[in-house]
């Protein structure tokens, strides 16, 4: 097994990322791999199974989808990206836009706001410090 630093280097040198899922496997439609976001953030075009969760989070403009369990369609998707540089660039551009607005730096603030709202609802805000220390809460306390 490679050290994490080397894994990132290998990923960054990739021409294409493929994330296949067998739709009949347990939770295939519900699990979303972080691997997709990692490759997207590295500017690597992605081919992925068209699952419910992938379609929920990602658009056709950022990932080259293929119908899960269809190996011919998977091969066609890979060859399409191999042959079409403009499509690869377009997918990467849209994927990078997505990653810029859907990453931990953005999501942690949403998470902190959620925790603070839950604290308010449960009447604990006065007892515990807010998680978002860099900005005062804009949430007014209401009785539960």
As given in the structure block, the two tokens for residue 108 are 């942690």
Instruction: Please check whether residues 49 and 13 belong to one and the same domain.
Output: yes
Q: Is the pTM of this model over 0.85?
A: no
Which range marks the domain in which residue 63 is found?
4-102
Asked whether the beta carbons of 111 and 103 are under 8 A apart, the reply is no
Confidence of residue 139 (pLDDT cuts 50, 70, 90): very low
Instruction: Please check whether residues 96 and 122 belong to one and the same domain.
Output: no
Instruction: State the CATH number of the domain containing residue 80.
Output: 3.40.50.2000
Return all residues near 76 (Cβ < 8 A) that are at least 6 apart.
66
Is the model's pLDDT at 17 over the cut of 90? yes
SS (H, E, C) 27-70: CCCCCCCHHHHHHHHCCCCEEEECCHHHHHHCCCCCCEEECCCC
Q: How far is CA 102 from the centre of its chain?
A: 7
Q: How many domains does the chain have?
A: 2
Rank 10-14, 103-107, 115-119 by mean pLDDT and report only the highest: 10-14
């Amino acid at each position: 097994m490679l050290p994490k630093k080397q894994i990132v280097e290998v990923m960054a040198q990739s021409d294409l990322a493929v994330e296949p899922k067998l739709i009949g496997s347990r939770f295939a439609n519900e699990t979303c791999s972080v691997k997709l976001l990692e490759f997207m953030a590295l500017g690597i075009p992605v081919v992925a199974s068209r699952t419910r969760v992938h379609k929920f989070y990602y658009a056709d403009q950022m990932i080259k989808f293929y119908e899960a369990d269809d190996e011919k369609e998977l091969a066609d998707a890979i060859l399409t990206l191999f042959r079409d540089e403009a499509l690869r660039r377009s997918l990467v551009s849209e994927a990078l836009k997505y990653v810029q607005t859907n990453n931990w730096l953005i999501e942690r603030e949403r998470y902190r706001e959620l925790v603070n709202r839950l604290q308010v609802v449960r009447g604990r805000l006065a007892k515990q410090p807010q998680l978002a220390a860099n900005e005062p809460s804009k949430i007014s306390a209401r009785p539960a």
